[in-house]
Amino acid sequence: MTSHTRPHTCLIIGIGGMGQAWLHKFLPAYKSRLKVSAICDINPSLLEAEGNRLNIPPGMRFGSLEEAIATAEVDFCIIVIPQEHHCRAIVNASQRNLPILTEKPLSNNFDEVAVIADTIRSTGVKFQVVQNYRYNARMLTYRDILRSKVLGQIQYVVSRFRQDYRVYGSWGGGNQGSDFRHKMQNPMVADGSIHHLDMIRNLTGGNCRTISGIGYNPSWSSFAGLSAGLYIAEMDNDTRACYEANLNATGNQDKWHEEHYRTECEHGSVSVSSEGTIRLCRVGEQDEIVPVPNNSPPGHVAIIGQFLDWLEGGEPPECTLEDNLQSTAMMFAAIEAGQQHTSVSVKDFLV
């Protein structure tokens, strides 16, 4: 890895909502290695407030992503806007040869995913997707247990997400514009499940061959589309997964960053609870509680570090284009399976 004598400059596209977390929580961890030199958002008051706070010149505050990408003299860009706008942001940045760090999912439009893939492959720009759940402390610890083979071979993984979003607009914390998910055709899988499907790949170490399932919307839901579902995945390395997803949970909660996972293995099982407790179980033996480090950086912070290392000549990170296309194809296959109540081949959605 080569040394870098000055901080990397970046343009962040989208500074409201999740963009606020990037500006206030994640990026400051690397204040000696990067500088936010340009910002872009459709909210003028937010541009003014953050521009003033960060001492960004008025000429580097943009209301149009096309203008921002064409004008800002920066080393890379960060994309933190709703997924329906990802394609044009990624295409514009790629054509300008700007390295890209983008939130997920790539897009909920299959044709746009193909355009993104073709563009990144043809331009060759460095491109990383923020699959931050892989890198929080409890899931890194959990994955290390599986990869150590202390429990032998994996049989199957159970993934469970449950959260109470019965109040309209509650997914998004009631922020302005947060109700868009409540209007989507398939809000659970198309906007939320990429975290969990990617984690299934991460834990099993395999890519998905087929996925079966049923998507549905209970009568008490505040969503217009399919807000819950049950899915079975067959991986390409003789492992399997069962996935439960529910945006209308009225009892126990397994919320974002607190999802429940259980993995049945050759010589026992390992689970992680919503409280973060990792438990190893073997028949006839006392359960073992595995400690989770409390000094690990949040997933987003870890990924930013990986990206900066890559820019400086380090090894490519895990979550580059080709890897993420596998998770994205799994998402589209799950959408199709849930809508049709059938089994779907994931390769039909690989681009």
pLDDT in tens, 291-321: 999 888 899 999 999 999 999 999 999 999 9
Q: Which of 55, 334, 339, 80 minimizes the C-alpha distance to 198?
A: 334
Evaluate whether residue 49 is within a structural domain.
yes
Asked if 298 and 136 count as a contact pair (C-beta separation under 8 A), the reply is yes
Quote the distance between the C-alpha of residue 49 and its chain's center: 28
Statement to judge: residues 151 and 259 lie in one domain: yes
For residues 173 and 152, membership in a common domain is answered with yes
**Of the residues 125, 158, 187, the one at which a domain ends:** 125
Report residue 3's pLDDT band, with 50, 70 and 90 as the boundaries.
Answer: low
Mean pLDDT along residues 326-332: 98
pTM given for the model: 0.94
Where in the sequence is the domain holding 116, given as residue range(s)? 8-125
In a domain? residue 249: yes
Q: What is the pLDDT of residue 41?
A: 98
189 and 113 within one domain: no
Q: Which of 110, 111, 109, 70 is nearest to 89 (CA)?
A: 70
Same domain, 145 and 94: no
Is 170 found in the same domain as 108? no
> Which CATH number characterizes residue 41's domain?
3.40.50.720
- Whether 317 is covered by a domain: the verdict is no
Within a domain: 31: yes
User: Encoding tokens for residue 257?
Assistant: 């960053």
CA separation for the pair 321, 19 (Å, rounded): 22
Quick check: 58 pLDDT over 90?
yes
pLDDT of residue 4: 66
Element (DSSP H or E) covering residue 9? strand 8-13
**Residue 204 domain-assigned (yes or no):** yes
Look at 177 and 20; give whichever has higher pLDDT.
20
Given 68, 93, 125, the domain boundary residue is 125
Q: Does some domain include residue 145?
A: yes
* Predicted confidence (pLDDT) at residue 89 exceeds the cutoff of 90: yes
**Per-residue pLDDT, 2:** 61
| Residues 217 and 281 both lie in one domain | yes
In a domain, 312, yes or no: no
174 CB-near residues (< 8 Å, 6+ apart)? none
Does residue 114 lie within any of the structural domains?
Answer: yes
Quote the pLDDT of residue 245: 98
Q: What is the mean pLDDT of residues 258-285?
A: 97
In tens, the pLDDT along 109-156 reads 999 999 999 999 999 999 999 999 999 999 999 999 999 999 999 999
CATH number for position 335: 3.30.360.10
**What is the reported pLDDT for 92?**
98
Judgement on whether residues 75 and 222 belong to the same structural domain of the protein: no
* Shared domain check, 244 and 98: no
Q: From edge to edge, which strands make up the β-sheet containing 61-62?
A: 61-62, 34-40, 8-13, 76-79, 100-102, 127-129
Q: Average pLDDT, stretch 88-92?
A: 98
Q: Note the pLDDT of residue 177.
A: 59
Mean pLDDT, the chain, whole residue set:
96
Number of domains composing the chain: 2
Residue partners of 186: CB distance under 8 A and separation at least 6: 108, 215, 225, 226, 335, 338, 339
Quick one: pLDDT at residue 8?
Answer: 98
**Could you tell me if 218 and 345 lie in one domain?**
yes
Answer with the one of 70, 103, 125 that is the final residue of a domain.
125
Does residue 138 sit in the same domain as residue 249? yes
Res 172: pLDDT: 79
Q: Are residues 117 and 179 in the same domain?
A: no
Residues 97 and 172 in one domain: no
For 244-265, what is the mean pLDDT? 97
CA distances from 193 to 40, 88, 345 (A): 27, 23, 18
Percent of the chain with pLDDT over 70: 97
CA–CA gap between residue 88 and residue 15 (Å, rounded): 17
What pLDDT, on a 0 to 100 scale, did the predictor assign at position 166? 95
For the stretch 149-183, pLDDT in tens is 999 999 999 999 999 999 998 997 766 556 889 99
Look at residue 175 in the predicted model and tell me its pLDDT: 60
